[in-house]
Amino acid sequence: MPFFNNSELTSFLNENAKIMRLSTLEADGYPSVTPVWFEYADSTFKILGRKQNKWVNNIRKEARVGACVDTSNAPYARVIIKAEAEIIDDNWFGDWISMATRYLGEEKGNEYYNSTKSIGRVLIKIKPIKTISWYGSDWHPKYYEDFGRPSTSS
- Residues of 91-110 as b/e, b for ≥16 C-beta within 10 angstroms? eeeeebeebbbbbbeeeebe
Mean residue pLDDT across the chain: 92
d(CA 64, CA 22): 11
Domains of the chain: 6-142 (2.30.110.10)
Query: Mind listing the pLDDT tens digit for each residue in 62-118?
Result: 999 999 999 988 888 999 999 999 999 999 999 999 999 999 999 999 999 999 999
pLDDT for residue 154: 52
Query: Mind listing the pLDDT tens digit for each residue in 4-36?
Result: 999 999 999 999 889 999 999 999 999 999 999
Query: Mind listing the pLDDT tens digit for each residue in 120-154?
Result: 999 999 999 999 998 877 776 777 777 776 666 55
103 contacts: CB under 8 Å, gap ≥ 6? 17, 37, 109
pLDDT for residue 2: 74
Q: What 3-state class would DSSP assign to 128?
A: strand
| Whole-prediction pTM | 0.88
Q: Own/partner pairs for 24-31, CB < 8 Å, 24+ apart?
A: 24/55, 24/58, 24/59, 24/62, 24/65, 24/85, 25/58, 25/61, 25/62, 25/64, 25/65, 26/58, 27/58, 27/61, 31/66
- Strand 20-25, strand 121-135: pairing: unpaired
